[in-house]
Amino acid sequence: MLTCTRRLEWDAMHRIPRHESKCAAFHGHRYAAEITCHADALDDRGRVIDFGVVKERVGAWIDTHWDHTAILQEGDPDPAVAVIAQSNAGHGRPVYWMAVPPTAENVAAELAGHAQRLLADTGVRVVRVRVWETPNGSAEWDGLVG
């Protein structure tokens, strides 16, 4: 199988409601994501996809929706959530709301869905998304399993 991977990075805060430790508090990360694409054949320049196309499309989506904002769960009961949402909106960085807790696993799955949609017309298939929440902790969505 022929694949290529583009790494993208951003900064955001989150919290995990009902977490049994530190992650119940609001905190920030320098996230990194690896987007792996598959093609049945290389293009006429010998590529699965130009790395710049992944950066332009998926990177732009990340910059718009996740960079320098909060990634929070809808219905999070913490009273600070409303204040954060209002403050961020006032600075032009609305909160990104997820239906599920914003764990690395769920962020990887969310990003995979967007990456697939954003690259659908390129002839490649997104087969893996790995999200690094910390330098030593990551979660992976695998489009080849299941």
| Residues tagged active-site | 23, 68, 133
Other CB atoms within a 10 A radius of the CB of residue 31 amount to: 23
Residues 6+ apart with CB under 8 A from 71: 12, 13, 14, 95, 96, 98, 102, 107
**Of residues 116, 137, 139, the one with CA closest to residue 127:** 116
In the numeric block, the tokens 């690896």 are attached to 34
Could you give the CA distance from residue 8 to residue 79 in angstroms, rounded to a whole number?
32
How many angstroms separate the CA atoms of 77 and 44, rounded? 53
In whole angstroms, what is the distance from residue 19 CA to residue 4 CA? 35
